[in-house]
Amino acid sequence: MFKKQKNGINKGVIDNGDEIIKRYLIGVLIFGFGFVFLGCSNIDENKIVDNKVEIEKEIYIIDSENVNIEDKIKKEKDEIIVTKEKTQEEIELSYENVYWLQESLKIAGFYTVLDGLYGPDTKQQLIEFQKTFKLGDNLGIYDDKTKNKLKEIRNLKIPPSLNTNMILINKNYFLESKYIPNNLREVNVPKFKYMELKNDAALKVEEMFNDAKKEGYTLYFNSGYRSYEYQEKIFNIRVKNYGFNEAQKVIAIPGQSEHQTGLAFDVTCKSMEYGLGKEFEDTDEFKWLINNCYKYGFILRYKKDKENITGYIYEPWHYRYIGDEKIAKYIMEKDMVFEEYLNE
């Protein structure tokens, strides 16, 4: 029993001793966990505080690496301020920016000369544009909001693919001022000065003029490729003398002339005294042309009674290379214009 007791006591002592140690250890552990827990909550709280600070300052990335957070917040805050100011700021009125603005206004239907200078005319057109599209409070200030709207309009009005003979240019679709076709070359047919077309169209013009000649019709080349600069020059002279509305009835707004594609040309003959006019439709040369031009991939572009579709008066002298002889034949035989074919 003693032994038992001893054992018991011993055991008890040992047990008690163990208990004390256990309790001590548990105490230490609880204290430790508590410390760690408190420590953790402190860290968490710090993080939450930082997050709040960061969210308030519109910072989206929290860097867990060894970066001085305060410096980072300050740096990113500064960047945000710079970005915000920039979007409200007037775009720099450099030559390039103003040139782009003027060209875009023109494409949007607000005509201004293309000189890269922000003068009263350009400003007036900009204000009209901003009023029309309700671009708000900064009238006359060229800002990002205005630029984005102009970009949107350009995307609708400038054909995305220029690398095709089937390109449509009319009063709805523009060529950019910097567009110059590839492979322009001189056309080797009777003409009174140096004139060019794209190589494919030039080859076909030469073939067609030669074949007409063999059958007794002498065609005369009056006008081929016209650069944007040239269109701009003649259009502005017209605007000066007659005003914008009258000018645009007679001459294509720069960028809207098919002649800039290098695929269109005007043709005449001796009885027309090598000039252009409606009387051309009474000539034998014209009759030969409308019966044969499709064989070379050409169509008569501005037909009689189709002015509401093409936007141009009847021009018996203006032909357009579309390349595909079958399509050209179809268009000519059905007495269609290019727009009608493309909308079919």
Size of the site for Zn ion (CB under 5 A): 2
First to last CA, the chain: 115
What binding mask, one character per residue, do residues 208-247 give for Zn ion by CB under 5 A, x or -? ----------------------------------------
By beta-carbon proximity to Zn ion, the closer residue of 211 and 266 is 266
Min separation Cβ 208 and Zn ion, Å: 16
Part in contact with Zn ion (CB under 5 A); list of ranges 19-27, 151-159, 177-185, 317-325: 317-325
Among 115, 128, 206, 266, binds Zn ion (CB under 5 A): 266
Catalytic annotation, pick one of 315, 333, 339, 340: 315
The tokens for 12 are 């008890």
By beta-carbon proximity to Zn ion, the closer residue of 135 and 205 is 205
Min separation Cβ 302 and Zn ion, Å: 8
How would you classify residue 299: left for phi > 0, otherwise alpha for psi between -120 and 50, otherwise beta?
beta
Count of other CB atoms within 10 angstroms of residue 7: 12
Part in contact with Zn ion (CB under 5 A); list of ranges 16-24, 88-96, 147-155, 261-269: 261-269
Q: DSSP for 2-52?
A: HHHHHHHHHHHHHHHHHHHHHHHHHHHHHHHHHHHHHHHHHHHHHHHHHHH
| Distant-in-sequence, close-in-space partners of 279: CB < 8 Å, separation ≥ 6 | 272
Min separation Cβ 178 and Zn ion, Å: 22
The values of phi and psi at residue 332, to 5°, are -70, -40
Min separation Cβ 257 and Zn ion, Å: 8
Using CB atoms within 10 A of its CB, is residue 200 exposed (0-12), middle (13-18) or buried (19+)? Answer: middle
- Residue 301 within binding range of Zn ion, rule CB under 5 A: no
- Residue 191 within binding range of Zn ion, rule CB under 5 A: no
CB 141 within 8 A of CB 122: no
CB 200 within 8 A of CB 231: no
Min separation Cβ 193 and Zn ion, Å: 16
Part in contact with Zn ion (CB under 5 A); list of ranges 41-49, 64-72, 118-126, 263-271: 263-271
Question: What 3-state DSSP class applies to 191?
Answer: strand
Min separation Cβ 266 and Zn ion, Å: 4
What binding mask, one character per residue, do residues 90-119 give for Zn ion by CB under 5 A, x or -? ------------------------------
CB 91 within 8 A of CB 126: no
Part in contact with Zn ion (CB under 5 A); list of ranges 61-69, 71-79, 96-104, 312-320: 312-320
- Establish whether 315 is a catalytic residue: yes
- Residue 318 within binding range of Zn ion, rule CB under 5 A: yes
The tokens for 68 are 């001085």
Q: Where along the sequence are the contacts to Zn ion (CB under 5 A)?
A: 266, 318
| Residues acting as catalytic residues | 315
